[in-house]
Amino acid sequence: MLEGATGMPKALINFLESIYRQDNVKCLVSGKTFQPWPKPNLIISDIFLDIIKGIRSIDPTITILGWNTTNNSFSLRMFGHEDLGGVGDIAAKALSDSERTGKPVKEIENQVRL
């Protein structure tokens, strides 16, 4: 699934640059051309696209909100603090357990993520 998304950040930055230049924008799927759009005041971006620096280089004053496409319970489990039900620092736990048990770090990381 992620293979198709590798070019997406660059395409989104190029699109935003076109909007700021007030260029016509062409849909890559339908081929339809759209008249220039108004410059945005706010951008909502998937947090995994990592395009904040690119957006800031175009307009350092724009408001950017992060959007997480996964459900909240998964996000809390994977990225939350342990006292909130998250798994905490998986890398530190795996390294400690690997030293204690001799098991490979990757194996332990995969078990902790479950």
The answer to whether 73 and 92 are in contact (CB under 8 A) is: no
pLDDT value at residue 43: 93
Sign of CA dihedral 57, 60, 62, 65: positive
**Mean of the per-residue pLDDT values for the chain?**
85
Q: How does pLDDT run across 49-100, given as a tens digit for each residue?
A: 778 889 999 999 999 998 877 777 877 877 788 888 887 888 888 899 999 9
Q: Is it the case that residue 42 has pLDDT exceeding 90? A: yes
Specify the pTM. 0.56
pLDDT value at residue 77: 79
The answer to whether 109 and 88 are in contact (CB under 8 A) is: no
Contacts of 34 (CB under 8 A, 6+ apart): 24, 25, 26, 27
pLDDT value at residue 24: 94
Percent of the chain with pLDDT over 70: 94
